[in-house]
Amino acid sequence: MTGSRAPEKTSSPRVALVIQYLGTNYHGWQRQPQAQSIQATIEDAIATVVGYKVTIYGAGRTDAGVHAAAQVAHFEYQGPIPAEKWAKILNSRLPDDILIRSSAVVPNNWHACFSALWRRYRYTIYTDKVANLFLNQVTWHYYHAPLDELLIQQALETLLGQHDLAAFMRTGSDRKHSWVNVQDVKCYRQDALLQLEIQADGFLYGMVRLLVGMLIEVGSCKRSLGNFTQIWQNKRREEVKFSAPAKGLCLLRVGYPKFPFPQNLWFDTQPMYVLAQ
């Protein structure tokens, strides 16, 4: 398979995918030379069908251990397979922790990354002192101090708008700038589950996990709201020292001006966990 070549380029259909995955066993979305990734796993599955290597392009590069409820990607291929059949074909070839929810043809100028208007992430924290095995893979078990969701919401709201968020960018990024347009934020509690959501036109490398690490300090009253705001406004990256665990983070959805999938397939497909009383 590795020596196979794609046929001569002609008009090729472009197929969009809505993808769910548990990132626990993967080194992130992006293909890695010596580590398992979501992108490479799906590309290998496509290659078993078409007989040559195909590149898929994702809406966002989730980090190692991060999950996705509705990642979006696209690829092109040549052959008779209808676009809507690809989800079923790939699911029969993918491991149980990756699922293609749907596939559809899109125009050849439509791009999973560059056509996106926004991405939305959700971070889930489990605050009960007693561990819960069924939540362990998808939440951060934080019970060391009470968390005030109203304080966290106030801190999140300071980020709304277009800002330079260099304080929340991990080293190693190839991004040429650190400006982000934060469009919506939300913090809410359901019993022992605290969930934070942030929507933006794009995200910096490691941004959400670094941000959650600081918000925990605000919510536990270890850091004042004023101090939090001063740190990010003055780009004091050296004071942002803790990154929240990857397993609590999920790429919730991606927004497009024209999207070929019905809302129930992509809008809010990570379960809202409810704990029994």
Q: In the chain, what are the domain boundaries?
A: 14-106, 118-257
The CATH T-level fold of domain 14-106 is: Alpha-Beta Plaits (3.30.70)
pLDDT of the residue at 11: 64
Reported CATH class of domain 118-257? alpha beta
Is it the case that residue 107 has pLDDT exceeding 60?
yes
At 272 the pLDDT is 76
Residue 138 · residue 125 · CB < 8 Å: no
pLDDT tens string 141-170: 999 999 999 999 999 999 999 999 999 999
pLDDT tens for residues 196-250?
999 999 999 999 999 999 999 999 999 999 999 999 999 999 999 999 999 999 9
Which of these is catalytic: 44, 63, 148, 164? Answer: 63
Q: Are 201 and 180 in contact (CB under 8 A)?
A: yes
Contact 218, 155 (CB under 8 A): yes
Q: Give residue 148's pLDDT.
A: 97
Give the integer Cα–Cα distance in Å for 170 and 180.
Answer: 14
How much is the pLDDT for 44?
Answer: 97
Q: Which residue type sits at 191? A: D
pLDDT grade, residue 5 (50/70/90)?
low
pLDDT band at 1 (very low <50, low <70, confident <90, very high): very low
Rounded Cα–Cα distance for residues 47 and 262 (Å): 28
> In the annotation, is 63 catalytic?
yes
Residue type, 44: D
Cβ–Cβ < 8 Å for 94, 42: yes
pLDDT tens for each residue of 13-70: 999 999 999 999 999 999 998 899 999 999 999 999 999 999 999 999 999 999 999 9
Q: Is the pLDDT of residue 8 over 60?
A: no
> pLDDT tens-digit profile of 62-97?
999 999 999 999 999 998 999 999 999 999 999 999
* Rounded Cα gap, residues 185 and 160, in angstroms: 7
Give the residue with greater pLDDT, 127 vs 79.
127
